[in-house]
Amino acid sequence: MNFGFVSTRFAGTDGVSLEAAKWAEVLWKEGHVSHWFSGESDRQPVISMVVPEAYFGHESILEIDAEIWETETRSREVTGRIHELTALLKAALYDFAEQFSIDVLIPQNALTIPMNIPLGLAITEFLAETGMPCIAHHHDFFWERSRFSNSGEKDFLDAAFPPSLPNMQHVVINSHAQTEISRRKGVTATLIPNVFNFEDPAPGIDDYNADFKKEIGLAEDDILILQPTRVVPRKGIEHAIELVRALENPKCKLVISHSAGDEGFEYLEKLERLAPEAGIEMLMVADRVDEQRGKTADGKKVYTLWDAYPHADFVTYPSLIEGFGNALLESVYFRKPTLVNRYSVYVEDIEPKGFRFPSINGLVTKKVVKEVRRSIEDAEYRKTVVDQNFKIAKKHYGYKALGRLLKGCVEKVS
């Protein structure tokens, strides 16, 4: 069959883009073909349709967003603009379906979080008018974000985020979301967690990335403790700083791979105060780590995150909130010992599988520090732990597991 993936953006390394690509890869192995509809795209043009107004960063969408959130009403003019864009996007969806002979639509978070209200309404109306089978993949709902809690858009949110239609199947990525969508929307949802291709061996140190530590300013015998996330408050990076302080080893250096800015720079400024106070060295290397290898403007090498992982001696993942935890699976894939803060989805869905992670409940204890130190210093113990974690992850979060779950969804719409 021909599957039509729809979202505001399919580009880069955000969770939605990555998980959609994994679904498409697994569907391809079953003989299905995927096509892409979005406002921004890095997919092959021959199988894609790009409609700029579908992007959440489009000027028209940003203008609407500036007027509708944190207010209890909206103007008649804004309503009119929303309906105009809905009509434009719905017409584009009809063209997309016709051009690629789409059999099943797969909205990716576009009916979940209202980053583009006209797109959500357009998909809803298209599905209601055509009766086309739909598998809606929900990553994070509007009720999980405080910025959407007070608005004059309740009618649109009730109608399309997500809608309840007989031709729709709903898929969520964690148990809590499965419960909440049932309670709030009166629909059942299939649980399909985020996955990773554990069948392919992880890349290691090669000619290009062999100098990674040197290039970011570390000595060869420094202990690289990697925080592989963006710098936003929900990542709990202050716990990583406290862990490195408690290890009391000047060779331990905290390396943060991604940038700040998505939610302002105040949190970064806080971390930059905390690290010197804790007496540790914290390196921000976002200018040297990107989605692809290359060169900076002044000719320095740019690495990918997968170039950094092979050099990591330990990984910190002290998040306060996560929809699932892609970076956690990634650290398991690279067989790295990892600290986890027991965020709710981890406690409910991941921890019961039997993983062995040094874990905290918002407090770095002496027991955890001792376990982390052993993970770094005892090679035999470390190998036992990471190999066990890899085996568990491959069973529950590998492509074979995704294939079984997706096959069940496809059979319902066939």
Q: Are residues 224 and 169 in the same domain?
A: no
Q: Are residues 82 and 176 in the same domain?
A: yes
Give me the pLDDT at residue 152, please: 78
Rounded to the nearest 10 degrees, the angle between the axes of helix 237-247 and helix 266-278 is 10
Q: Are residues 20 and 161 in the same domain?
A: yes
**Residue 204, in any domain of the structure:** no
Q: At 169, which CATH number?
A: 3.40.50.2000
Q: Are residues 149 and 169 in the same domain?
A: yes
- For residues 122-155, b (16+ Cβ closer than 10 Å) or e, as one string? bbbbbbeeeebbbbbbbbbbbebeeebeebbbee
**Residue 202, in any domain of the structure:** no
Whole-angstrom CA distances from 190 to 23, 143, 172, 338 are: 15, 19, 6, 29
Quick one: average pLDDT of 100-106?
98
What whole-number percentage of the chain has pLDDT above 90? 90
Residue range 336-361, pLDDT digits in tens: 999 999 999 999 999 999 999 999 99
- The residue among 402, 26, 23, 408 whose CA lies nearest residue 36 is 23
Angle at 183 between CA 361 and CA 90, to 5 degrees: 110
**Residue 203, in any domain of the structure:** no
Residue range 149-182, pLDDT digits in tens: 777 788 999 999 999 999 999 999 999 999 999 9
Residue bearing the bigger pLDDT, 70 or 25 = 25
Single-letter amino acid, residue 115: M
Q: Are residues 241 and 351 in the same domain?
A: yes
Q: Are residues 178 and 239 in the same domain?
A: no
Q: How many domains does the chain have?
A: 2
Are 324 and 302 in contact by the 8 Å Cβ rule? The answer is no
**Residue 207, in any domain of the structure:** no
Quick one: average pLDDT of 65-73?
87
- Write down the mean pLDDT value for the chain: 95
Q: Are residues 109 and 255 in the same domain?
A: no
Q: Are residues 407 and 386 in the same domain?
A: no
**Residue 83, in any domain of the structure:** yes
pLDDT band at 49 (very low <50, low <70, confident <90, very high): very high
Q: Are residues 188 and 233 in the same domain?
A: no
Whether the full predicted model's pTM is greater than 0.85, yes or no, is: yes
pLDDT band at 262 (very low <50, low <70, confident <90, very high): low
Single-letter amino acid, residue 157: L
What whole-number percentage of the chain has pLDDT above 70? 99
Are 152 and 68 in contact by the 8 Å Cβ rule? The answer is yes
Q: Are residues 216 and 189 in the same domain?
A: no
pLDDT band at 114 (very low <50, low <70, confident <90, very high): very high
Quick one: average pLDDT of 373-389?
98
Q: Are residues 188 and 107 in the same domain?
A: yes
Q: Are residues 182 and 279 in the same domain?
A: no
* CA atoms of 23 and 5, how far apart (whole Å): 10
Show the domain range for 113.
Answer: 2-195+399-413
Residue 132, token pair as written in the block: 């086309």
pLDDT band at 12 (very low <50, low <70, confident <90, very high): confident
**Residue 201, in any domain of the structure:** no
Quick one: average pLDDT of 389-405?
96
Give me the pLDDT at residue 261, please: 67
pLDDT band at 147 (very low <50, low <70, confident <90, very high): confident
Structure letter (DSSP) for residue 203? P
Residue range 287-306, pLDDT digits in tens: 999 989 999 999 999 999 99
**Residue 27, in any domain of the structure:** yes
Give me the pLDDT at residue 222, please: 98
**Residue 206, in any domain of the structure:** no
